[in-house]
Structure 1
Amino acid sequence: MTKHRHQLAALDSDFLKVLAGRTRIMLLWELYEGEKSVGDVAKAINIQDTAASQQLSILKAAGLVSTRREGQRTFYSLVNEDARQLLAAVREMTMKSEAEAVE
């Protein structure tokens, strides 16, 4: 059982590392609003298309976003409701922590 717990903890840790990047969090929040192209999300958070594409690829590999191609454009969206709930839970926790720090 202990070996299994260690393996699960390693997987959890790897997954949470994906969420540790500020740019990736900003991209996820843009996609929270709905499907967008690489160029649209890059413009929204003021980064280059290539940087957005690289970070979105990491999010896709982690299973948080999916893609749809239309001609030469690639559109990204959150993969499912679980991803939306994860973002909402993170935001709720950070807001609570911020409020407690102010008190």
Structure 2
Amino acid sequence: MSDEIDQVFDKAAALFAVLSTPIRLRIISELCQGEKNVGQLLENIDVAQPNMSQHLNIMYRSGVLGKRRQGAQMFYRIADESAAMVCRAVCTQKAIAAAVD
């Protein structure tokens, strides 16, 4: 039983590690509205294209994002809905707290 609990906490910690940068949280927020390509993400997130690609790759390799190629474009989507739920819950609570302060 303890091994199973440890695995749960290990997976949760790994998810928090992937979501530990503001850019990645912004990416999740953008993709909650639907699938987007790199150019569309760059329109709303102020970061250099190579930096964006690096973050997308980390999130893809971790299983948080899925991707598909269409011609020369790569489109990204949320693959792990629990990541989106965590992002929404934490960001919503922080926004509420900031509004109260």
Q: TM-score range by the shorter chain?
A: 0.7 to 0.9
Contact 2:66 2:77 in 1 (8 A): yes
- Aligned amino acid, residue 67 of structure 1: K
Counterpart-to-counterpart distance in 1, 2:44 and 2:96? 26
Structure 2 residue runs of 5 or longer lacking an equivalent are none
1:46–1:96: structure 2 CA closer, same or farther, 3 Å change rule? Answer: closer
Task: Give the % identical residues.
Answer: 28
Instruction: Mark the structure with the bigger radius of gyration.
Output: 1
* Cα deviation, residue 61, structure 1: 2.1
Counterpart-to-counterpart distance in 1, 2:61 and 2:9? 18
* Cα deviation, residue 19, structure 1: 0.8
Q: Secondary structure at the match of 2:88?
A: helix
Higher relative contact order (CA closer than 8 Å, sequence separation 6+): 2
| Greater alpha carbon shift after TM alignment, 70-79 vs 88-97 | 88-97
* Count of paired positions: 101
- Tell me what 2:87 maps to: 87
Q: TM-score, normalised by structure 1?
A: 0.79
Deviations 1:27-81 (A, max 9, x none): 1111122211112212321212211111011111222221111111101112265
| Greater alpha carbon shift after TM alignment, 82-91 vs 47-56 | 82-91
Question: CA-atom RMSD, angstroms?
Answer: 2.1
Counterpart-to-counterpart distance in 1, 2:92 and 2:42? 25
